[in-house]
Structure 1
Amino acid sequence: MNIGILLKEGPYNHQASDTAYKFAEAAIRKGHRIDAVFLYNDGVINATKLGDPPQDDRNIAERWSALATEHGFEVLACIAASKRRGITDELMIKGGSITGLGTLTDIAIRNDRLLTFGD
């Protein structure tokens, strides 16, 4: 099954980031394909290099980058949400980029499922 993910919450302040990541890992293990992760609203913060969590904490941006790179999907941040938060292409993780909201529609159309994480 081809799956798209929509993540609407930022890291560390909501369970949605961790849940989406764990879902993606589990889906891949079961043989499904993650097509793309689209970040919207505060979700765009998940894909920036700006975070510097303590050594004993997980680095959510690095986790998304590694998973996307290893399994060949993109982490896409909404341009409007990114601009509102001062996020530019240079601040994006490896495997991440900024794109328009129309890309979310494309993800929804081309995949078997689009799962939303966050409020």
Structure 2
Amino acid sequence: MNIGILLKEGPYNHQAADTAYKFAEAAIAKGHKVDAIFLYNDGVINATKLGDPPQDDRNIAARWTELNQKHGVEVLACIAASKRRGINDDVMIDGAEITGLGTLTDIAIRNDRLLTFGD
């Protein structure tokens, strides 16, 4: 099964980022293809290099980079949500890109499922 993920919450203020990551990891382990993670609203903060979590805490941005590099999962941030939060290409993690909402429509069309994490 091909799966797209929509993540609408920031990395450390809501469980959604952890749940989306763990879901993607489990789906891949079961042989499914996770095509893309589309970050919307505060979710765009997940794909920035601006965070510096303590050593004993999880690094959520590094998790998205790993999914991209190991499994080819696209990490895409909404341009409007990014601009509202002062995020540009210079602060994006490796493998992530800023794109328009039309890409979210494409993800929904080309995948069997689109799962939403966050409010």
TM-score scaled by structure 1?
0.99
Code of the aligned partner of 1:95: G
Code of the aligned partner of 2:58: R
- Between 1:87-96 and 1:41-50, the stretch displaced more is 87-96
The equivalent residue for 1:114 is 114
Residue 34 of structure 1 pairs with residue 34 of structure 2 = yes
Secondary structure, counterpart of 1:109 in structure 2: helix
Residue 96 of structure 1 pairs with residue 85 of structure 2 = no
The equivalent residue for 2:74 is 74
Secondary structure, counterpart of 2:18 in structure 1: helix
What does the per-residue CA deviation read over 1:60-83, in whole Å, with 9 as the maximum and x for residues that have no partner?
A: 001110111110121000000000
**Sequence identity (%):** 85
Shift of 1:116: 0.2
| Separation in structure 2 between the aligned mates of residue 90 and residue 117 of structure 1, nearest angstrom | 26
| Separation in structure 2 between the aligned mates of residue 45 and residue 51 of structure 1, nearest angstrom | 9
| Separation in structure 2 between the aligned mates of residue 90 and residue 18 of structure 1, nearest angstrom | 24
The equivalent residue for 1:19 is 19
What does the per-residue CA deviation read over 1:30-80, in whole Å, with 9 as the maximum and x for residues that have no partner?
A: 000010000000000000000000110000001110111110121000000
| Separation in structure 2 between the aligned mates of residue 22 and residue 95 of structure 1, nearest angstrom | 19
Could you tell me which runs of 5 or more consecutive residues in structure 2 were left unpaired when the two chains were aligned: none
Could you tell me which runs of 5 or more consecutive residues in structure 1 were left unpaired when the two chains were aligned: none
Code of the aligned partner of 2:111: N
Secondary structure, counterpart of 2:58 in structure 1: coil
Secondary structure, counterpart of 2:68 in structure 1: helix
Secondary structure, counterpart of 1:77 in structure 2: strand
What is the number of residues matched between the two proteins? 119
Q: Structure 1 segments of 4 or more deviating over 2 A?
A: none
